[in-house]
Chain A
Amino acid sequence: MYSFEVDKPDSVDAAVSALQVEDAQALGGGQTLIPTLKQRLASPSRLVSLTGIAEMKGVSSADGVVTIGGGTPHATVAAEAASAYPALAALAGNIGDPAVRNRGTIGGSLANNDPAACYPSAALASGATIVTNAREIAADDYFQGMFTTALDEGEVITSVRFPVPDAANYQKFEQPASRFALVGVFVARFADGVRVAVTGASEDGVFRWSEAEAALSDNFAPEAIDGLSLSGDGMISDLHGSGDYRAHITKVMTQRAVRAAG
């Protein structure tokens, strides 16, 4: 770790202004950033901690929408979204281990957009809205590839709004070492159709599997996608699995998610 300054503002406005400093970086729960700093792979001049901002914390539910503050840890989502959006709460409750879940935040996860993170699949499959200090961004526009998002420099995710589907489920197939998603599939059935978002698999980060969405919108049953297959091209291929394997597992997890969503 190199030395750096730390700010801990208590409002979004103060955080945004603190982030104007050159080479300043926002710090959520630090579950990715702190290990990166310890390995000396990043050298921000200043960290602006977002954990002291009350207005960015908490889970609320109204009119079929669950809103989660950007600074809300996974464990809080697992506990407080359990009745309003059980599939999302279950996803949050199975990220990492208890230490990760008590520190890591939804805003941090979505801002980082790790290709193997769980949350991006929920946001994309739910058609969530990413709310920042400056604007609202539809999930379909937000995710722009591995570790790449629509966020501008210094822009802070203040909350995320999840429309609650009629049925949903997340299936994670874990990479054996890290237990991140080797493939994670979030399936959400709304009145106007089904959305399927896949994390962990693609070199382009989280993506929607449109053929599966069309088939499942017609018939929300595992066998509806029996005839579909994904190509291994463009899928991540590494020591834990080839692109073809990830493509295959995507289909298996999709079918399991549909079965579990009922």
Chain B
Amino acid sequence: MPKDSGIGASTKRREDVRFLSGTGNYTDDINVHGQAYVHFLRSDVAHGRINGIDTTAAAAMPGVVRIFTGADFEGIGGLPCGWQVTDRHGEPMQEPGHPVLAQGKVRHVGDPIAAVVADTYAQARDAAEAIEVDIEELPAVVDMKAALDEGAAKVHDDLKNNLCYDWGFVEENRDAVDAAIKGAAHVTTLELVNQRMVANPMEPRVAVGDFNRATGDHTLYTTSQNPHVIRLLMGAFVLGIPEHKLRVVAPDVGGGFGTKIFHYAEEAFCTFAAKAVNRPVKWTSSRSEAFMSDAHGRDHVTKIELALDADNNFVALRTDTLANMGAYLSTFAPSVPTWLHGTLMAGNYKTPLIYVNVKAVFTNTVPVDAYRGAGRPEATYQLERVIDKAARELGVDPIALRRQNFITEFPYATPVAVEYDTGDYNATMDKLEEIADIAGFAARRAESEKKGKLRGLGVNCYIEACGIAPSNLVGQLGARAGLYESATVRVNATGGLVVMTGSHSHGQGHETAFPQVIAEMIGIDESMVEIVHGDTANAPMGMGTYGSRSLAVGGSAMVRATEKIINKARKIAAHLMEAAEADIELKDGAFSVAGTDKSVAWGDVCLAAYVPHNYPLEDIEPGLEETAFYDPSNFTYPSGAYACEVEVDPETGKVSIERMIAADDFGNIVNPMIVSGQVHGGLAQGIGQALMEHCIYDDEGQLLSASYMDYAMPRADDVPFYEVDHSSCTPCTHNPLGVKGCGEAGAIGSPPSVVNAVVDALQSAGKNVTHIDMPLSPSRVWAAMQG
């Protein structure tokens, strides 16, 4: 029987009422009295030296308040990078400066050169056109291999070259892996591209800076997944504002997908300028600006080698990747191709020897950082593609080859530094085979062939490390931040609860799911619990939402705080009923004395805490409010098996996804409907990457796919009705809810199955196609079929 409330119930999302009725409060809905508007003049060349900026004529234009250039930020900190990677030789990565407005050089199309603050947005834009910029164009570095050539133009003149780092992991295994590959019975090699993506959240970025001259307080309203992180990075490292004088508010946020984690120049600018011009300053990104200023995702070029013994056991894996950093290091960029990628290269398999090399490269392109899955999709894609290729080369069933190599005993320490606490990969594969009706595929293929279509079936597994993560571990790996989460639970006098969480909801449904947990713990109605987030003035210092961590880490903090509340309430109840605390039980919203009919309602206990007339004041303080910080002891490891069935039109190369099946193990689940929705969204993004989306620069560093006219986003009719299952459940062993996180799974798990399916379809027609790089657009598939 499905539950109708509490943990496990598909409670409808309470936040959807305001989202769907147009009554949300997004950052662009915030207008501060007297605000001015900023327009950024952005570079239209990829690489150039700024010889001069003349703002004289522009400054005299109507409505202009002030024009800022890089010179106004001399002596002020640049945008910091939050993760330092150490290379294979023990040296720290090369870390260039990242000024708020360009100083000396522009390094990508979209790099901000000047900012015009004016009474209206149109006036700011008009004046920006009147700024005269003398830029000496320099050769652009776009291709990663070319960027590493000796004599290549340098993106940053003060660095040795364009190599950010050369990372090896696990470096001690390098020779052993090479030897194992050399001596293997079979080696499958695959070169592939994980193409550059643009996250494209529905809501573009917005920032409103405000400064109160009377109190000296700064406020920044911004589209962020982690307002406390922005407060720390911007306050401490860029503008030198102490945290108690800086409030960062991220209200309703219309999608993030990683790209709203990072600290951006526009946020720092609006905060800075509001004080400088003594007026609130607002910036709203246009979609065109978003394409050239939001951090991009992926952009890896990889060669992977999988070695097998004569019995088809995986014996070694080596992967060599070039990872594009773009022109500057975005906040967490260095961690994505390294610790979020290399540590997942074992996948679901007991490969004993693994070596991962990653060279991160600066180019004259928009910075690249985490995008839904961040490193884990890149790991999963190459691994699951090379396994599929190996199965075809060896003439064995791809599912059987996977099952043969599955990790089956837990906990399992991989050769790439992480320990999987739990999982059951055969269980999700069993579930997948059942739903996908793999046995019936041959008949479906025959039906497709009757219509002149080639049908293919692709399968893959995935594992991800979520619930990021133990602070002491990530600190060793180079993170310049902790990765705990916080929650304050405030019980009101009449029994309702307000939970202030450091997690941030930008579509995930926290306002619905989190109350389900607390309501179940206390035995009260979900409607008695309200979630507050996104405001540093309310919530305790939190790290925000990304890496599928909200429930696993933020939810755990909330559980811990609620446990403290319950413990204190139990003491109060014991006092009220004149019973021993050990005899007090909490059930269905009432405290009772075991073995008696004495009970006191939740609300009466709460009232007693705030009206402490009859109260153990000598033992406990009045009031009922508790805070907890939760730092996990490990990542969580959601996993699953996915299948895709495609039809390929052999005349045009057009791929149609007929079925997309996801069998996931997310551990315990709080709200199955929300989990399905998260998987659906992830699948759409995974299919988008597999078939459609591609951020392309030309050789001069001009962005060719700079609008929806050329950047293909998946639409409703590009995706099938998904078949998702999350009944497989091995609960996480180390967090109080046993949850693992589900936000990124769909985007991580789906691209390989799509590509595997298309290769299968083409091979069914006798085409000697072993790989096609994403996106599998009609023209690419057709070209591959021509041989």
Chain A residues proximal to chain B, CB less than 8 Å: 1, 39-40, 173, 176-178, 239-242, 245, 248-249, 252
Contacts and interface: CB of A to CB of B under 8 A. Distances in A.
Contacts of A1: 122
Contacts of A245: 778-779, 782-783
Given A239-B694, A239-B705, A176 B712 contact: yes
A43 B755 CA distance: 46
A177 B713 contact: yes
A95 B125 CA distance: 33
Interface in B761-787: 777-779, 782-783
Contacts of A249: 652
Given A176-B692, A252-B651, A241 B710 contact: no
Most chain A beta-carbon neighbours within 10 Å: one of B125, B651, B691, B704: B651
A177 B704 contact: no
B711 interface: yes
A178 B779 contact: no
The main secondary structure of chain B at its interface with chain A is: loop
Interface string B236-255: 00000000000000000000
Contacts of A239: 694, 696, 704-705, 710
A242 B653 CA distance: 13
B649 to A, nearest CB: 9
Given A177-B710, A177-B712, A248 B705 contact: no
Contacts of A39: 288
A241 B777 CA distance: 9
B779 A177 contact: no
21 contacts: A1-B122, A40-B125, A40-B129, A173-B654, A176-B778, A177-B705, A177-B709, A177-B711, A178-B708, A178-B709, A178-B710, A239-B696, A239-B705, A239-B710, A242-B779, A242-B783, A245-B782, A245-B783, A248-B782, A252-B651, A252-B652
A173 B779 contact: no
Contacts of A177: 692, 705, 708-713
Nearest to B126: A2
A47 to B, nearest CB: 17
The main secondary structure of chain A at its interface with chain B is: loop
Interface of B: 122, 125, 129, 288, 651-652, 654, 691-692, 694, 696, 704-705, 708-713, 777-779, 782-783
A245 B651 CA distance: 11
Given A177-B712, A242-B779, 16 more contacts: A39-B288, A176-B691, A176-B712, A176-B777, A176-B778, A177-B709, A177-B713, A178-B708, A178-B709, A178-B710, A239-B694, A239-B696, A240-B710, A240-B777, A240-B779, A241-B779
A178 B712 CA distance: 7
A194 to B, nearest CB: 21
A248 B122 CA distance: 46
Contacts of A248: 782
The 10 closest A-B pairs by CB, nearest first: A177-B712, A241-B779, A176-B712, A245-B779, A178-B709, A252-B651, A177-B710, A176-B692, A239-B696, A239-B704
Most chain A beta-carbon neighbours within 10 Å: one of B692, B713, B777: B777
A212 B288 CA distance: 41
A39 B692 CA distance: 25
A176 B712 CA distance: 6
Contacts of B696: 239
Nearest to B698: A239
Nearest to B713: A177
A105 B576 CA distance: 77
A62 B341 CA distance: 68
A40 B708 CA distance: 18
A76 B122 CA distance: 36
A173 B782 CA distance: 14
Most chain B beta-carbon neighbours within 10 Å: one of A39, A176, A249: A176
